[in-house]
Structure 1
Amino acid sequence: MTIFIQALDYNLWDLIVDGPNLPTVTLENGDVTPKPRNTYDDNDRRRVKINAKAKHIIICAINSNDFNRISSCISAKEIMLVHDYEMFTMNENEDIKSMFSRFTNIINALQALDKTYSNSEMVRKILRCLPKSWMSKVTTIEEAKNLNILPLEDLLGSLMTHELSMQKKDDEEEKEKKKKKIVALKSSLIEDSEDDDENEELALITRKFKKFLASKKKFGGKPNKKIYQKGESSKLEEIICFECNKPGHYKSDCPRLKKKDLLKKKKKKAMIATWDDRDESSSDEDSSEEVAQLALMALEEEEEEKTMR
């Protein structure tokens, strides 16, 4: 709107800022009053015409509600100031002191144009311009105070006190948030450290297990049959069994070890049969036969060992 008016005629903007600059006369008692229209000269008519042009531009740019508020204004400057007063609100991140300073500037400029508002009107205007975060305080003031007689300075002091308490509360909440962030960060670091320790332990176990498998493959694994088929019998002859101390096979393929395993299985069967309570007579006979077989197998095994030695 400022650029639009300046582009049309910069004298219009000067009139709004410095105005109203309407023709006036000074009475004998020193009072200044508007000059009667029938006494206008050419210069007076030019000044009145510029003011009317500025009013016309502003009125065309506002809605019907705003027009009802400023229709009684005489000058273009008064229209702008009344519009600023009606649309006044507290800006985002603005403190009470700065907001009240802007409001006072508008009120003082209107008073210079003989446009005044009562104390109760200004108090209610200040309460209406506060944001939603102040609604609880506004409700408290409206219920506890008589707005018709509440001085504007007392309202300012009450709002500034509440503002300080809000800032203190916000600071405490911010400190609490920072503490929670620090605790969460420490917890995360501890968890990461524990994970690293577990990973290191797992890696150590893995390395030991691989080492164990390598040693088992070297000393106790089965021979590769493909190697034997290629005729490399010299390697097979170099292999010594840890069970019978004979060359040509590993411990896992030792016939002596297999025979021991068979003997253990039979001993186990004999023990099961001994403790069977279903048929005591048959159990005794089977047990005696089994013991005899085991004794015979033990003697054969001892003879074989002597022969091998």
Structure 2
Amino acid sequence: MNSAPPLGHGQGQHINRPPLFNGEYYSSWKTRIEDFIQDEDYKIWVRITNGPLIPTNTDSKGKKVPKPTENYGEADYKMLGKNAKAKCILVCGLIPDEFNHISSCTSAKQIWDTLKNAHEGNLKTYEMNVDKRGEGNKEKNLGFKATESDKSDINDDDLTLIRRNFKKFFKRGLNSAKKKKTPPKKEKIAEKPQDRGCFKCGQTDYQIKDCPMWEVEWKKGRAEKEKKEFLNKKKNKKKNKQCMQLGE
């Protein structure tokens, strides 16, 4: 809420001017304007609360009817003058924004009631909300007091038992949390049995690494290599012999 003082409160109020209402602090302004009007003329205040007085005549049936303006007397004009002054005091105590709310009102009572409904309605709503919040805080405080009073009835043995149970419960909660965090074990995929036997020679008594064909092939390859080396040496020896003969 705005903590600034109402408009016109900086250096006090002038007793010859109505207090100004700036749209805030309605309760404060309401009290001050009542005092101002009652001090000015209490009859004017009655016109605001009860409504304006209208000059009337009594017809042949005994009913009061509005008096024609051409028949007004001095007392009638004084009566209407107080109605006008009551309205003027209220209007002069409003800023333009607040005046716009009551510009269509034709009497001081209508102005007063319009302002009251507009601002006291908001105030009551605010107070109701504050009361509800206060009741909620009271319930919290009562609950807190009740727990404190309950604690006073617990002896040392009960406290020890409560601590033990709490520790067990706390450890159980940690263990369950760890179990939950542990990822599920993957199921081992059954390994396919290796095909038995040697696909090189077709025998089933041993695997390919133990196949005797490896040794046969190795020996065969070595014999061919030795044969090639022997032929190459022989060929080279023959060439060398021919070269020597040509040299002679």
Q: TM-score range by the shorter chain?
A: 0.3 to 0.5
User: How high is the TM-score relative to the length of structure 1?
Assistant: 0.32
User: How high is the TM-score relative to the length of structure 2?
Assistant: 0.38
Q: Per chain length, whose mean CA-contact separation is higher, i.e. which structure has more relative contact order (CA < 8 Å, sep 6+)? A: 2
> Would you tell me which structure has more helix in proportion to its own residues?
1
